[in-house]
Amino acid sequence: MGKPRCLVIGSQFSGTFCARELKTKFYVTVVDAKEYFEYTPGVLRAFVKPAHLDSLTFTLQPVLERKMGVKYIWGEVKELNGEKKFATIKPIFINHLEEIGFDYCIICSGCNFGPFKPMGESLWFPTVHEDGRAVSDWKHIDERFIEGRRRHVLEEYHKLSDLNTKKSTVLVVGAGFIGVEWATELEHYFPDLKLTIIDFLPRCLGPLPDSAAQYCSEYMTACGIKEFYNCKYDPKSSDFWKTIELPNGADETYVCIGVKASNYFMPKCTLSDKGPGGGGWIHFNKHLQVTKKPSEGGGVWADGTIFAVGDCNYGCIGEPPNWEMPPVPKISYPGEEQAYHACLNVMKLAANQKNLVATWWPWGAGMFSTSLGPHDACFVMGANHNKNSGYMVNWWVPAALQKEIIETSKVNECKDGWIGILIWHFVHHTPINLWGRGPWFV
């Protein structure tokens, strides 16, 4: 009897992790609508320094097929059939749909970042889905190709250069870690821009500790970035613009708030009716198996053979205040942690074992590294779902260097490089948990 088949949807952090983890015991097929990996946490730098994109990206086919030895399909998943266990896929260079069968499936499809756009479009993640490209603000660029992504980065860079030459006003909406990073990157590389950042919360960095918020705020003040808090974004209101001292509006606005689901291929019975960006997130249980929504009975979907990990899932289990698992931040670390748990459970199911691993709120979900330009940063760890939790344990140049090391080594690991694997393997494979909500032994 041959090895079982596992389909992995998505090839960012958690997708490449699953492929590496399962390749020896399963016939693994990875499907992605784009031809390249992109290190999303570092992509802000690429728009102000385009040469940086090369260090954040690599084409998937040589890595997945030649180095890892798994199958890679460049195409978009249009439908996932849990009952018959096949995915309907539209390959990049074929006009008709194809079906790919599987025994197990791990969904690592991530999410989008533009809650005000119909399909969640933003600069921070390439527009690669067919329906998204149809309503895109940049239809002339095909970001399924790495060259298309590069052209988009260059186009935005030249737009910023022109704004800088004109000493234009730029508004950044949202002072979370993305908004703060974007504002400070713009200030460093385009110093003639007149920058303003706003947020509806009382300070920057939302739920993170006061020490980190104060550090970032002091940096922005010193750089001349105007800050306005307890301020709701209302571009149609003249009072709003007067409040933030831009009576004539801004020459350019960047929205850096919120996320939006992109699980277009999933049946409605598995998707949430509420949640960030209007809902559409995949329901799951403590074993990371996809479930039906509560109004559909909440039972396990597809015999428990399909798992949802990372940014694509609902992010929490239960209801407040009695969480079974409180909301998990949509960042890379918990996505990889959940990918590891899902891989363990896929292997257990394939071996006819019933004692599946229960996931948990990982301690690494409380780590946030916020850049303040290329030479400054702050690093928070120990944060959890409670507001203002965690500790700022590193800052200034050492924190900036730390973030550079994380970026370089993580890209190398996802590229299946031995240096990155040596650095990061035991982060998720350690059998003992000293922090977080997980069991002592895995």
Q: Dihedrals φ, ψ of 391, to 5°?
A: -140, 135
d(CA 200, CA 195): 17
226/245 Cα distance (integer angstroms): 9
393 CB-contact burial (10 Å; exposed 0-12 / middle 13-18 / buried 19+):
middle
pLDDT the model gives residue 441? 57
The CA-atom distances, in angstroms, between 259 and each of 117, 143, 301, 334, 352 are: 11, 19, 25, 16, 37
Domain boundaries, the chain: 5-115+260-361
Phi, psi (rounded to 5 degrees) for 263: -90, 55
> For 248, phi and psi rounded to 5 degrees?
-100, 10
* Eight-class DSSP state of 40: G
pLDDT (0 to 100) of residue 126: 95
Element (H, E) at 325: strand 322-325
Phi, then psi, of 81 in degrees rounded to 5: -100, 105
At 24 the three-state DSSP class reads coil
| 257, amino acid identity | I
Give the E-state strand segments of 362-416 in sequence order. Answer: 368-371, 377-381, 391-395
Number of H helices, E strands in the chain: 11, 18
Task: Give φ, ψ of 271 to 5 degrees.
Answer: -105, 145
Q: Tokens 């995949």 correspond to what residue?
A: 282
Q: What is the pLDDT of residue 434?
A: 59
Class of domain 5-115+260-361: alpha beta
Print burial letters for 352-375: b (CB count within 10 Å at least 16), e (below 16): eeeebbbbbbbbbbbbbbbbbbbe
Give the sign of the dihedral formed by CA 358, CA 361, CA 363, CA 368. positive
Which residues does 123 contact at the CB level (< 8 Å), separation at least 6? 43, 47, 152, 156, 254
Distance separating alpha carbons of residues 388 and 386, to the nearest angstrom: 7
Q: Please give the angle made by the CA atoms of 419, 13 and 211, to the nearest 5 degrees.
A: 90
Find the helix packing angle between 210-223 and 177-189, rounded to 10°: 20
Rounded to an integer, what distance in angstroms lies between the CA atom of residue 199 and that of residue 202?
8
Q: What is the pLDDT along the chain (442 residues), one digit of tens a residue?
A: 589 999 999 999 999 999 999 999 999 999 999 999 999 999 999 999 999 999 999 999 999 999 999 999 999 999 999 999 999 999 999 989 999 999 999 999 999 988 888 888 899 999 999 999 999 999 999 999 999 999 999 999 999 999 999 999 999 999 998 999 999 999 999 999 999 999 999 999 988 899 999 999 999 999 999 999 999 999 999 999 999 999 999 999 999 988 999 999 999 999 999 988 889 999 999 999 999 999 998 899 999 999 999 999 998 888 877 888 888 989 889 999 999 999 999 999 999 998 999 998 888 888 899 999 999 999 998 888 788 888 999 999 999 999 999 999 999 999 999 999 999 998 888 766 656 666 655 5
Confidence at residue 322, expressed as pLDDT on a 0 to 100 scale: 81
Q: Say if strands 98-101 and 36-38 run parallel, antiparallel, or are unpaired.
A: unpaired
